Amino acid sequence: MTLSHVTREDAVKRLTQSHGSAPDSIEALCDLVRAEVHARKHAPRAATLSRVARLLAPAIALDEERLDGACDALEREGDVMLNPGGILYATPTRVVAIEKSARVFSSLPTRALAKALGRQVSAKGASRTIASVDGLSEAVARVSGVMVPPEAWAGLDRAPNADAAFLEKLDQRLEWQPLGAGSLEKDGALEWRAWQVTPEGARWRRSSEAQLWWARTRFGGHHRAWTASASPATSPFVTLSPDDADRARFALSRTVKAASVLRVERSGKRVTLEVPGWLPRPEYRWLSLHAVVVAESKGMRWEISTDSEDQITKLLSERLGLTVETT
C-alpha cells in the first residue's frame, strides 16, 4: 500500500467523488455509518459515530448533531437496528416494490448495494430508491435479500391505534409485570425526562411526575418506560419499545388539540404535511412508501401528491388522533 499526503481541499474532493455528494451531506453521512456498521456486523452506537467523526476530521469540521441525526434517520428507516443497550446491528437487504419503483432497506452502503444488485440506487436523505423493478426479484435473491409486500413492511394490521385503549394495556402491563424502581440504573443514574402535555402543546421535560419517561444511556442508547406517576428511578415501571413509546406519546397528546395537529400546506399540485413528532414505526413506514420526506426536517415534514392527500390525512388522524389543519 502506498501512502500519499493530500491537502484538505483534495481530501474533500476525494470524499465527494467517493460518495457522490458533499462529505457532510446527510446522504454521505448515512453511507459512512452504514459502512461502519455493516463491516463490523454490530458495534456500540457512540463508538461508531466517533469513528466516522475521526475519519472525516482531517477534511471537514463535522457537526456532531448532524451525524447523530443521520444515525437517527437510519434507525427509523430500518437500515440499521439499535438495541436498548446502545448497540447498532447490521441488517439484511429488504426491498419493497411500489408500482414501477422500489424502496430498499439495508446496511449495505449505496455503492456496494448498487454493484451487488447490478442497477442504479438513488439516495435522498436516508431513503434509497431503485427506479426499475424489472428482474428485481432475481437481483435481490443474489444478495440473499428478500422482497417484502408494502403491507407487510408497514405492519399497520399488527399495530393498535394510539388511544385510551392502548394506554389501558400499558397500565395492565405495569400491574402484572412491573420492574423494580431504579433497576435500569446499574451503570449510573439516568437523567429521566417526562412526556408532559399542556394546553400549549407537549414535549419532553424534566419533571417528577408523569407516566411516560425517556432517558439516554451512557453508550448512546435509549430507555423508555411507563409508570403510575413517578420516575422509573423511584417507582416500579415497565420498559417500552421505541414503537410503544412513540404510540404512547400520541395517545397522551390525543386530547389536547395544540399537541396533536397535522398541518397541511397546499401550493398548486404540491402538498406538504407537518406531523407533531416522530411517528410510530408502522405509520412512519407506511407514510414513507407514499410520501417523500422534506430534507433537513428530521421526518417531521413530508411532500405528497394531491391525489393521496385524503387517504393519508384520514389514516393518520384515525390512528393517531391528529387534528387536520389546512393552509
In CATH, what number is assigned to the domain containing residue 306? 3.40.1170
In a domain, 236, yes or no: yes
Domain final residue, candidates 74, 90, 106: 90
User: In what order do the strands lie in the sheet containing 94-98?
Assistant: 121-124, 127-130, 101-105, 94-98, 146-147
Are residues 12 and 86 part of one domain? yes
Are residues 103 and 73 part of one domain? no
- For the cut 60, the answer to whether the pLDDT of residue 1 exceeds it is no
- For the cut 90, the answer to whether the pLDDT of residue 259 exceeds it is no
In the chain, how long is the greatest CA-to-CA distance? 64
In a domain, 251, yes or no: no
Are residues 82 and 107 part of one domain? no
Are residues 177 and 132 part of one domain? no
Nearest residue to 256 via CA among 315, 323, 327, 182: 323
What integer pLDDT is reported at residue 17 of this predicted model? 57
Other beta carbons within 10 Å of 278: 18
What does each C-alpha distance from 119 to 16, 38, 76, 78, 207 come to in angstroms?
Answer: 21, 20, 25, 21, 52
Query: Percentages helix, strand, coil for the chain, rounded to the nearest 5?
Result: 40, 25, 35
What integer pLDDT is reported at residue 5 of this predicted model? 62
The angle subtended at Cα 74 by Cα 69 and Cα 80, nearest 5°, is 130
Nearby residues of 29 by Cβ (< 8 Å), 6 or more positions away: 52, 66, 67, 70
What integer pLDDT is reported at residue 307 of this predicted model? 84
**The C-alpha cell that represents 287 in the structure block:** 407514510
Are residues 169 and 237 part of one domain? yes
Are residues 170 and 138 part of one domain? no
- 203-237, pLDDT tens digit by residue? 899 988 999 999 988 777 789 999 999 999 999 99
Are residues 34 and 85 part of one domain? yes
- 285-322, pLDDT tens digit by residue? 999 998 888 877 777 899 988 888 899 999 999 999 99
Higher pLDDT, 253 or 221: 253
- 130-188, pLDDT tens digit by residue? 988 889 999 999 989 999 999 899 999 899 999 999 999 999 999 999 999 999 988 88
Mean pLDDT of 47-57: 91
Q: For residue 145, which phi and psi values (nearest 5 degrees)?
A: -95, 180
In a domain, 144, yes or no: yes
For residue 262, what is the enclosing H or E element? strand 261-267
Domain final residue, candidates 90, 106, 122: 90
Provide the domain count of the chain: 4
**CA gap 270, 302 in Å, rounded:** 11
Domain membership of residue 274 as a residue range: 257-326
Are residues 234 and 210 part of one domain? yes
pTM greater than 0.85 (yes/no):
no
Domain final residue, candidates 90, 109, 139: 90
What does each C-alpha distance from 68 to 11, 16, 25, 53, 271 come to in angstroms?
Answer: 22, 20, 13, 10, 29
Q: For residue 285, which phi and psi values (nearest 5 degrees)?
A: -65, -40
- 5-31, pLDDT tens digit by residue? 656 565 556 566 565 667 788 999 999
- 101-125, pLDDT tens digit by residue? 999 999 999 999 999 999 999 998 8
Q: Are 302 and 253 spatial neighbours (Cβ–Cβ below 8 Å)?
A: no
In a domain, 210, yes or no: yes
CATH number at residue 63: 1.10.10.10
